[in-house]
Chain A
Amino acid sequence: MVQHFRPAFMMLLLFTLLTGLAYPFAILGVSQALLPFQANGSLIVQKNGPVASAIIGQNFTGAGYFHGRPSATSAPDPADATKTVDAPYNAANSSGSNLGPTSQKLIDRVKADMEAARAAGLSGSVPADALTTSASGLDPHISPAFALLQAAAVAKERKLPEERVRQLVQDNVEGRLLGILGEPRVNVVRLNLALDALSPAAAP
């Protein structure tokens, strides 16, 4: 038994140096040199500094923007650190709702959101991604159907022709790679940046 102590200790030490330090730092060096945009979080920088990561969703609330999916992320309650409060798109604490398919809480939440959507003038059946929370709470994408559904309201708020806004959505649909891999989707942050570029004056 004791004869295994030295190899166990030394192997652990050597592999910690190799796989725990040399390996990640080698990847760090190469990726910072060759792929700095991706390696630093795909940040979109405008004149006043970074406004978004191109692949992390944001919590859009204004009527002049396309909205992302509901998000179940939370943050510590500033008043009581043992509790949490809802904080949609909290990119420092990713999380899904973890509600099961027979959860009353899930049904109540979807029902309330659906009523709000109906009150806002939405009719017919609503795309699933519009009323469900994502796995990470940070989903940057929505389905093209959900984006088109919002086009009329956004166009009205921005005082743009609806056709122009619908065209903007279509231009921002990302397709499948090689026509096979992935799902058609719209990146909400990029779409809203394009919208701001189109009518900066109307930006809230």
Chain B
Amino acid sequence: MTMIGWLQIGLLFACVVAAAKPLGVYMARVFSGEKTFLQPVLRPLETAFYKLSGVDPGKEQNWLAYAMAMLIFSLFGFLSLYAILRLQAVLPWNPQGFDNVPPDLAFNTAISFLTNTNWQSYVGETTMSNFTQMAGLAVHNFLSAATGIALAIAVTRAFVRSSAATLGNFWVDMTRATLYILLPLSIIVALAFVATGMPQTLLGSVDVTTLEGAKQTIAMGPMASQEAIKQLGTNGGGFLNANAAHPFENPNAVSNFLSIFSMLVISAALPITFGRMVGRDRQGWALLAGMGILLIAGVAIVYGSEAGGNPLLTALGVDPSGGNMEGKEVRFGMAMSSLFVAITTGLSCGAVNAMHDSLMPLGGLVPMFLIQLGEVLPGGVGSGLYGMIVFAILAVFIAGLMVGRTPEFLGKKIEVREMKLAMLAVLILPLVILGFSAVAAVLPSALASLANNGPHGLSEILYAYSSATGNNGSAFAGLSANTPWYNTTLGISMALGRFAYVVPVMAIAGSLAAKKKTAESAGTFPTTTPLFVGLLVGIILIVGGLQFFPALALGPIVEHFTLLAGKTF
């Protein structure tokens, strides 16, 4: 680790925190229907969308109708994306003449993009046409992110309102999230990305004659527009196979900085939006602090383990001062690669600028564990906030148990129904991740996909199901996931990780909204203090640790010790 490395990391966090406040306040205004500076331009478009879709923006929905609207929207999105993938060969802008996407891969990819996961079992530059990338995949980068934000806002309203039956209108929240937040930011970021060297062209590829006279075919495409929303929407699905490690998807240190900033900024701003909407800014900062502490700890562990290099290679005469460069790019170096690793998994982004499969054992443990903690550090756009609120409910419940009082959060009593639903949501993750991993670890056809042997092989499986269920999308990419088994089971994992989680959360929101907001008393456990933040962090770590430590012990942890003992596989 170097000073200059930490300086880069510190600069990034400083920029994000500085931007979180204004963006968070702006988003609170957007979703409260207040005037914003973009309204003169966007209001007519917004109204037209409602009119054409038959949506009455004044009509609110209860939690069930809100959730149903979201589910049906997602189902339609799945069907249309599946159709585009299956019919790719006859659709326009297919300069390389790519074939239709096979059924199992299309199933996996369609679920992947509409759940904001962007797991990719395919190689972008040899599978997807420009039309599929733009009108298929990138559309869902917007809509799945907007859906996540809408859900988070609906959950937020449960704490704003007292004895209320409704949580807002899904169509309105989703439309506003896209028009007022994601689209304007994407336009700015996309143009900045082009300036750093990211291509934006309809050409599929260009042939060059190299300096030594060989032919090199270079994949191209409309990348910048897709990269911008891929990061801002914490989607993470790259245009090209190497994702943000590819020089076209991330040409230099500036694009890398902007990529990390973009993926982090909305998720960091949403707690501020939450605090502003519930009328207590400090609550937003307390949630953000809880997220930040664990995230920075994750960054430090990855950076520490990667910067030391691989002792097995040092023994062969490789200079360890360069760090573990296998699967990393020179232009990012150790600090900005390690930062990317932790942030892309603390978020549910899943873009990568280094190959996670080649991380050191502890460097690879961190991203896997950050996903398994429930994608709340600070999590995907929207999904991170509502995930964190579930943990906050758990934290006040446990605090309530310890002092023998009825737990409340922001004036809402947390009772049996909410706790049951919260536990249901929390248990989805281990059930799906560990269940499918256990089956895959003994199934010969699943084991045939592994690229690495020994404990690292188990890590590949565990990482895949964690990433899918946590809707992250990054991978220990040696795993050949484009098989019927992985495409199907990972597809199911992604759907469960998104929808089986969010429906109980919406039920909690509905139940809390219906309750009267009680006034704070001397006996209320304050939820904006360092004590609460510490408790929250502790709960996240304990829940995640209890669920996943045994599996992690058999994967990255045992690999760490075998590596120290000099054993290879």
Contact = CB atoms under 8 A, between A and B. Distances in A.
Interface of A: 1, 4-12, 14-16, 18-21, 23-24, 26-28, 30-32, 35, 38-43, 48-62, 65, 69, 89-104, 106-107, 110-111, 114, 124-129, 131-143, 145, 176-177, 180-183, 185, 189, 192-193, 196, 204
B247 A27 contact: no
Contacts of B520: none
Interface string B325-348: 111111111001000000000000
A29 B68 CA distance: 38
Contacts of A143: 322, 330
Interface string B458-489: 01000000000000000011100000000000
A134 B216 contact: no
Contacts of B214: 58-59
Contacts of A185: 330-331
A5 B55 CA distance: 11
Given A57-B247, A91-B217, A100 B452 contact: yes
B309 interface: yes
Top 5 closest A-B pairs, CB basis?
A: A182-B253, A128-B322, A98-B478, A135-B245, A183-B333
A28 B224 CA distance: 9
12 contacts: A11-B53, A56-B248, A94-B242, A95-B242, A98-B478, A101-B559, A110-B318, A114-B318, A128-B319, A135-B242, A135-B245, A183-B332
Contacts of A62: 212
A14 B52 contact: yes
B324 interface: yes
Contact of B326 (A106, A111, A183): A106
B313 A131 contact: yes
Contact of B568 (A40, A107, A196): A107
A80 B245 CA distance: 29
A77 to B, nearest CB: 14
Contact of A40 (B135, B136, B199, B563): B199
Nearest to B478: A98
A40 B221 CA distance: 9
A179 to B, nearest CB: 8
Contacts of B76: 5, 8-9, 12
B568 A93 contact: no
A60 B499 CA distance: 50
B212 A204 contact: yes
A129 B477 contact: no
A199 B273 CA distance: 61
B554 interface: no
Interface in B480-517: none
A124 B561 CA distance: 28
Given A40-B220, A128-B325, A180-B11, 17 more contacts: A19-B178, A35-B195, A50-B208, A59-B210, A95-B123, A96-B327, A98-B452, A99-B451, A99-B452, A101-B360, A102-B568, A110-B313, A131-B313, A135-B354, A139-B330, A180-B4, A182-B333
Nearest to B559: A102
A92 B139 contact: no
A36 B18 CA distance: 33
Given A50-B208, A97-B327, A101-B359, A35 B220 contact: no
B225 to A, nearest CB: 4
Contacts of B73: 4, 7-8, 11-12
B126 A92 contact: yes
Interface string B273-317: 000000000000000000000000000000000000110110011
A20 B322 CA distance: 42
A177 B333 CA distance: 14
Contact of A102 (B139, B216, B567): B567
Interface string B166-192: 000001001100100001001100110
B216 A91 contact: yes
Given A23-B186, A40-B203, A96 B355 contact: yes
A52 B323 CA distance: 29
Contacts of B245: 94, 96, 134-136
Contacts of B68: 1, 4
Nearest to A76: B126
Nearest to B190: A27
Contact of A27 (B197, B222, B329, B567): B222
Contacts of B196: 38
B139 A99 contact: no
A90 B205 CA distance: 12
B211 A51 contact: yes
Nearest to B77: A12
B437 interface: no
A174 B420 CA distance: 57
A94 B197 contact: no
A10 B191 contact: no
A10 B190 CA distance: 26
Given A11-B174, A53-B218, A135 B569 contact: no
Contact of B211 (A98, A128, A136, A192): A192
Contacts of B326: 96-97, 99, 101, 106, 132-133
B563 to A, nearest CB: 5
A26 B187 contact: yes
Contact of B330 (A18, A42, A95, A141): A141
B225 A24 contact: yes
Nearest to A36: B201
Given A103-B569, A128-B323, A32 B200 contact: yes
Contacts of B400: none
A1 B73 CA distance: 11
A31 B477 contact: no
Contacts of A192: 211
A91 B124 CA distance: 12
A7 to B, nearest CB: 4
Given A110-B318, A128-B319, A133 B327 contact: yes
Contacts of B220: 40-41
Residue of A50, A136, A139 with most partner-chain B CB within 10 A? A136
A134 B328 contact: yes
Given A28-B225, A93-B241, A102-B456, A138 B247 contact: yes
Nearest to A92: B217
Given A27-B222, A135-B329, A176-B4, A11 B171 contact: yes
Contacts of A12: 73, 76-77, 80, 143
